[in-house]
Amino acid sequence: MKIKELEIPAIVHKLQTLSERMKEHSTKLPHVKSDLSKFLSGYNGEKSLEFHLTFLQEDLYHILHDVRLYDGERFFQIDVLVISPFFAVIAEVKNLSGHITFDGKFNQLIQSKNGQERAFPDPLLQVQRQITQFRAWLKKSSLPQVPLHGIIVMSNPYSVLTSSEYEADNLIVKPPSLVSSIDTIKKQYDQPFITQKELKKLTKQILIKHEPDQSPILDRYGLERTDIISGVFCPECNSFPMKRVYKYWTCPKCSCRSTSAHLSALKDYYLLFGKTITSKQLREFLMIDSYQLATRLLQSTPHLTKSGHYKSTIYTISEQINL
């Protein structure tokens, strides 16, 4: 049973917006685009598991994607968490192409692709750390302990896998083998450790305590507001800035006219700068001068709530604006 569905991570939306609105001369733009590609690859890797996970016994397993919890000292994130009354499985998903070697001697994963080699942290160590942190979280939350197992899922169907002095080969699977690996783990247990009622309580607490990463995206790359392109982008040709002429946003390049193009810009603002905005900040970001126009746009925009009066007025943008 799916308890927490797989969704496009918020970091992907933020990085897509950031890559579109960063000034082209920024030396940090390649880093941002590289990270965007990495997170998209991770999402696609997890998505490739969805079909295979449907073959798990629905009334026995609860499936949660992208769980982020606090163990009392630090946050940790689990790609896929499969929980039953008998045991739980933490799946670390890697979507890497090329020739992949698991190096047990130096605890690293080596990707060989297009004549180049690149080293990554050992995913086994990542899984072991997540197991330790999840166990600590269960104890801190006064929840029943269940046996924990880790699996490394190499989701790219075309990657070639080899290992060198790697003692955990049996933990490495491709998506079609994931369910059979979980079934093999199930054979180790004759009796459940928790009841179905306790299982429901456990998964409910995970959902309650799940905390998405809301850290400001600009801080992640040491960027300032001056590094970001302001203005309303044209929905037809993507040029900027559109000009406000009477009731319309008008594109100087393709002559497109729109009454709602600013909504996309407000969504960008929410992803880049956070959920609060003032009239002055709106005018600066949309590149308009009129206080009255800014007030009308703010008051007529859905998913905004107003607090304060006059110059101290602040508008809070709901996350619904990102849907």
The chain-wide mean pLDDT, for the chain, equals 93
Q: Is the domain of 88 the same as that of 17?
A: yes
Nearest alpha-carbon partner for 210 in 65, 44, 320, 47: 65
pLDDT band, very low/low/confident/very high, at 321 (cuts 50, 70, 90): confident
Give me 255's structure tokens: 């002559």
Q: Is the domain of 205 the same as that of 242?
A: no
Domain count, the chain: 2
Asked whether the CA dihedral 94, 95, 96, 99 is positive or negative, the reply is positive
Mean pLDDT of 214-237: 93
pLDDT digits (tens, 9 = 90+) for 186-209: 999 999 999 999 999 999 999 999
The enclosing domain of 271 has a CATH number of 1.10.10
Mean pLDDT of 45-68: 94
Q: Is the domain of 243 the same as that of 195?
A: no
Helix, strand, or coil here: 72?
A: coil
Q: Is the domain of 240 the same as that of 194?
A: no
Q: Is the domain of 112 the same as that of 244?
A: no
Q: Domain of 183?
A: 2-209
User: Is residue 215 scored above 80 in pLDDT?
Assistant: yes
pLDDT band, very low/low/confident/very high, at 322 (cuts 50, 70, 90): low
Q: Is the domain of 103 the same as that of 169?
A: yes
Note the pLDDT of residue 65. Answer: 96
pLDDT band, very low/low/confident/very high, at 2 (cuts 50, 70, 90): confident
User: Is residue 256 scored above 90 in pLDDT?
Assistant: yes
Evaluate whether residue 222 is within a structural domain: no
Evaluate whether residue 223 is within a structural domain: no
Mean pLDDT of 131-150: 95
Asked whether the CA dihedral 223, 224, 228, 232 is positive or negative, the reply is positive
Evaluate whether residue 195 is within a structural domain: yes
Evaluate whether residue 199 is within a structural domain: yes
Evaluate whether residue 87 is within a structural domain: yes
